[in-house]
Amino acid sequence: YELTQPPSVSVSPGQTASITCSGNNLSDRYAAWYQQKPGQSPILIIYQDNKRPSGIPERFSGSNSGNTATLTISGTQVIDEADYYCQAWDISVFGGGTRLTVL
Amino acid sequence: EVQLVESGGGLVQPGGSLRISCAASGFTFRNHWMHWVRQAPGKGLVWVSQVNSDQSSSKYADSVKGRFTISRDNVKNTLFLQMNSLTVEDTARYFCARFHMGALDYWGQGALVTVSS
pLDDT, one tens digit per residue, over B59-77 is 999 999 999 999 999 999 9
Residue-level pLDDT at B59: 95
Cα A67 to its chain centre, rounded Å, is 15
Contact B112, B90 (CB under 8 A): no
Structure confidence at residue A1 (pLDDT):
86
Rounded Cα–Cα distance for residues A15 and A82 (Å): 16
Q: Which residues contact A50 (CB under 8 A, 6 or more apart)?
A: A61, A62, A63, A64
B45/A47 touch (CB, cutoff 8 Å), yes or no: no
> Hey, are the CB atoms on A42 and B104 less than 8 Å from each other?
yes
Which of B101, B109, B112 to mutate: most A Cβ within 10 Å?
Answer: B101
* Per-residue pLDDT of chain A in tens (103 residues, 90 and over written 9): 899 999 999 999 999 999 999 999 999 999 999 999 999 999 999 999 999 999 999 999 999 999 999 999 999 999 999 999 999 977 788 999 999 999 9
- pLDDT in the model for residue A92: 82
> Which A residues in the span 29-88 are in contact with B, Cβ-Cβ below 8 Å?
30, 32, 34, 36, 41-44, 47-48, 51, 53, 83, 85, 87
Nearest CB neighbour to A44, from listed B44, B61, B104: B104
Q: For chain B, 117 residues long, give each residue's pLDDT as a single digit of tens.
A: 999 999 999 999 999 999 999 999 999 999 999 999 999 999 999 999 999 999 999 999 999 999 999 999 999 999 999 999 999 999 999 999 999 998 999 999 999 999 999
Check if A26 contacts B (Cβ < 8 Å): no
CA distance A94 to A88: 7
Query: In chain B, which residues have their Cβ closer than 8 Å to the Cβ of A48?
Result: 101-103
